[in-house]
Amino acid sequence: MMNEKIQNSKFKIQNSDYHIPVLFSETIDALNIHPDGIYVDCTFGGGGHSRGIIEKLNAKGRLIAFDQDEDAKKNIPEDKRIIFIPQNFRHLQRFLRLNKIQSVDGVMADLGVSSRQFDEGERGFSIRFDGPLDMRMDQRQEFSAADVISNYSEQQLHKLFEQYGEVSNSKTLASHIVLYRKQMPVQTILQFKSLISPVVKGNPNKYLAQVFQALRIEVNDEMGVLKEMLQQLPAVLKKGGRAAIITFHSLEDRLVKNFFRKGSFEELPDNPFMSEINEAIFKIITKKPIVASGDEIKRNNRSRSAKLRVAEKL
């Protein structure tokens, strides 16, 4: 009866047009799924990883799926075991409580933007198209990349291009933007590219990709939301529950690594007393991050920078 119900489930997402999940089987295996458990996918997107989770659940199991992008909603299947929460995962615990869930058996996140978001010029994430200089994952938010470019001080711009994009001439870029932004409108990608063209250094595509990455991280407060979500994991995970987080750049990976190891985001020296305290929170399942195989990278170039880290709540 139970199996029949699951087979009849309308969860038929294989939405590779929308997004190809990275490190799919590695992530699902890492979650060590109990069929009647409760799991959270913080980043539903095209639902690829969610599909892998739901396939392992029985009729009692539950999947709580977050996505702050309205567009992801269309990928939600009709399946009573899924609760979709169209919110930022920074509110993880709040929305679990609102759904009367105190703790869960596993939490996963596959950070960043989906291929669909990236491939739609209108969303403003990609250097390949023209469109509004937007980059908001959550379109209810008012603050966009155009606001960053128009309103940030030279120092703020310098810092964000340096930290989030590792842009080699971030100081020059910031001062150029501040000097010339009043002389021309900077509301679209083409306008922005034209504004900064005199200071583009090295390979233009690589340079622009770094600049765009930095803006995207800032607009969506990607570091802030990741920290907030990680800090809620000790309270939200049951004992033995797993967290599996896929990151795409070193700043994110460092946050996850340090938090799993030390319960903090600081680069603390390896102090034996600290690690004793923090062993009380997580057992590290992946001493080194899991990365994509050569085959996966060939099939899906996006997987080349993916790193999966897994920890278990003690």
Ligand X SMILES: C[S@@+](CC[C@H](N)C(=O)[O-])C[C@H]1O[C@@H](n2cnc3c(N)ncnc32)[C@H](O)[C@@H]1O
Q: Can you give the binding site for ligand X, defined by CB under 6 A?
A: 19, 21, 43, 45-49, 66-69, 72, 88-90, 110, 112-114, 137, 225
Cβ closest to ligand X, residue 255 vs residue 274: 255
Least CB distance from residue 43 to ligand X, whole Å? 3
Cβ closest to ligand X, residue 145 vs residue 196: 145
Least CB distance from residue 16 to ligand X, whole Å? 9
Least CB distance from residue 67 to ligand X, whole Å? 5
Cβ closest to ligand X, residue 153 vs residue 293: 293
Least CB distance from residue 118 to ligand X, whole Å? 9
Among the listed residues 51, 160, 31, 174, the one whose alpha carbon sits nearest the alpha carbon of residue 106: 31
Cβ closest to ligand X, residue 49 vs residue 242: 49
Cβ closest to ligand X, residue 160 vs residue 245: 245
Classify the phi-psi angles of 107: left when phi > 0, otherwise alpha if psi is within -120 to 50, otherwise beta: beta
Cβ closest to ligand X, residue 105 vs residue 252: 252
CB 284 within 8 A of CB 260: yes
Cβ closest to ligand X, residue 160 vs residue 246: 246
**How is residue 37 written in tokens?**
């458990």
DSSP assignment of 61-91, as one string? Answer: -EEEEE-S-GGGGGG----TTEEEE-S-GGG
Q: Please classify residue 30 by burial: count the beta carbons closer than 10 Å to its beta carbon, then call 0-12 exposed, 13-18 middle and 19+ buried.
A: buried
Least CB distance from residue 185 to ligand X, whole Å? 28
Cβ closest to ligand X, residue 49 vs residue 257: 49
Among the listed residues 110, 140, 44, 35, the one whose alpha carbon sits nearest the alpha carbon of residue 83: 44
Least CB distance from residue 226 to ligand X, whole Å? 8
Q: Give the Cα separation of 9 and 3 in Å (integer).
A: 10
Please state, in angstroms and as integers, the Cα–Cα distance from residue 58 to each residue in 4, 29, 186, following that order. Answer: 10, 16, 52
CB 76 within 8 A of CB 70: no
Least CB distance from residue 308 to ligand X, whole Å? 12
Cβ closest to ligand X, residue 49 vs residue 81: 49
**How is residue 219 written in tokens?**
């607009």
Least CB distance from residue 125 to ligand X, whole Å? 11
Beta strands in the chain (DSSP E): 38-41, 62-66, 82-85, 104-110, 237-247, 282-284, 290-291, 307-313
Q: Give the Cα separation of 103 and 99 in Å (integer).
A: 11
**Placement of tokens 């750049």 in the chain:** 249
**Hey, how many other C-beta atoms are within 10 angstroms of the C-beta on 5?**
13
Least CB distance from residue 22 to ligand X, whole Å? 8
Q: Give the Cα separation of 161 and 212 in Å (integer).
A: 9
